[in-house]
Amino acid sequence: MSGPASPEPPPEVGGRALTTYAELAWLFGRLGATSIGGPAAHIAMMQDEVVRRRRWLSEEEFLDRLGATNLIPGPNSTELALHIGLERRGILGLLVAGGAFILPAALLSLGCAWAYVRYGALPVTGACLMGVKPVVLAIVVQALLRLTPSAARALRLRVLGAAALVGSLLGVGEVAMLFLAGGIEAVARGRGWTRPRDGAAAMFALPFGGFATASVSAGVSSVFWVFLKIGSVLFGSGYVLLAFLREELVTRRGWLLESQLLDAVAVGQVTPGPVFTTATFIGYLVAGTGGAAAATIGIFLPAFVLVALSGPLVPRLRRSRLAAGFLDGVNVASLGLLAAVTLTLGRAALVDPTTVALGLAAAVLLVRFDVNASWLVLVGAAVGVGLDALGLAPH
């Protein structure tokens, strides 16, 4: 008498178990609801979850997609989530991962905007950030330590990464450094650029044209076009967003006061998920709920389109010697930029013995006890609020 039939193994893609849409929604929904700290923290958490814990991507595949996000405009961490969703389950996976990552932050930003309009001020956020920043610093340092051996595996690559770090600290443009590092590594591996094959160069020639805004009033359609333009041309991380928003909304259109813009950016920093959901807050201020929806869709839509177009080219780039060299150069320069952000974050996060102790404790929990980074961020926020309530927070 035979025993019960053993369950069939899950279907596989590329030698890995097929990821379900529910798994994508759960992971990126949780990250979107807990990943406070900006793009560097989001990337670090995704590396921990996707590469180390779930093994959905190898270190090299993760770095390739991280490098690709730096070559197109839009929010880097959101685009990385889109790349992962696309890799695991195609276009629908891209939509599920991106939507799950964005939605929690957008809803939280909408709630903050409603409270801001109703009460005329934001809730106190300083205490929360005081506890979160040291934890985020530990998370980012851990990600750098894990990714650097794969990216900087040769002396030339290590030099390019160090040059990107120094250039970023000196104020050199991010995009220029990425393309320069990629070009140097590509030339070093061959005799120079040849005619592109297999679509290898297509992702670097996507049209990034701006969009006109016909109306100066803060109507829903005007809000959509303004944020669509910003999402289509903004390179770099969410930290670059402030300059674009100030030029478009304060200086050119007069939709916001300087103080309102700073409050909006503060909401983007203290709420989890993409910093670009600052757009949700601003859209509500200038055009109500419809404006919030229009701004959110407008600023994120280009990322969905560009990743869908460029994502399939990333594995083909790796098969081309010159394109692979370019991508390796971009990858190591991206880590150099991330290291520069880490140094800046360290100066802002470690301001007294309390924050230093919190950062060290987070590092020990991450490295020694393998505590999940998302929950550590929440603990850090709670510690900050608790210290403030007891009158022990630094001022």
User: What does the pLDDT look like over 232-271, one tens digit per residue?
Assistant: 877 655 545 666 777 788 878 889 887 787 677 767 767 7
User: What global pTM score does this model have?
Assistant: 0.66
| Residue 290, CA distances (Å) to 18, 113, 280, 297, 388 in order | 38, 13, 10, 11, 36
Give the pLDDT of residue 391: 78
Q: Please state, in angstroms and rounded to a whole number, the distance separating the CA atoms of residues 86 and 93.
A: 5
Collapsed DSSP state (helix, strand, coil) of residue 190: coil
Give the pLDDT of residue 207: 37
Q: Please state, in angstroms and rounded to a whole number, the distance separating the CA atoms of residues 128 and 387.
A: 10
- Cβ atoms of 284 and 117 within 8 Å: the answer is yes
Other C-beta atoms within 10 Å of 101: how many?
Answer: 34
Q: Which amino acid is at 198?
A: D
Q: Which amino acid is at 300?
A: F
Percent of the chain with pLDDT over 70: 81
Q: Please state, in angstroms and rounded to a whole number, the distance separating the CA atoms of residues 384 and 395.
A: 12
Helix boundaries (H) for 170-312: 174-189, 220-233, 241-245, 258-270, 278-310
Collapsed DSSP state (helix, strand, coil) of residue 17: strand
Per the model's pLDDT, the better-predicted residue between 4 and 232 turns out to be 232
Convert the pLDDT of each residue in 295-349 to its tens digit. Answer: 999 999 999 999 999 888 877 767 777 877 887 887 788 788 778 877 877 887 8
Least confident of 48-57, 276-285, 323-332: 323-332
Per the model's pLDDT, the better-predicted residue between 22 and 310 turns out to be 22
Q: Please state, in angstroms and rounded to a whole number, the distance separating the CA atoms of residues 357 and 225.
A: 46
Give the pLDDT of residue 96: 97
What are φ and ψ of residue 13, in 5° steps?
-130, 120
Sign of CA dihedral 108, 106, 174, 146: positive
Q: What is the mean pLDDT of residues 50-66?
A: 90
Phi-psi bin for 236: left (phi > 0), alpha (psi -120 to 50), beta?
left
Collapsed DSSP state (helix, strand, coil) of residue 13: strand
In the predicted model, is pLDDT for residue 387 greater than 50?
yes
Give the pLDDT of residue 203: 38
- Cβ atoms of 294 and 220 within 8 Å: the answer is yes
Q: What is the mean pLDDT of residues 367-379?
A: 77
CA 295-300-306 angle, to 5 degrees, is: 145
Least confident of 22-26, 98-102, 353-357, 373-377: 373-377
Convert the pLDDT of each residue in 340-365 to its tens digit. Answer: 877 877 887 888 898 899 999 998 99
| Residue 168, CA distances (Å) to 180, 336, 337, 365 in order | 13, 8, 6, 30
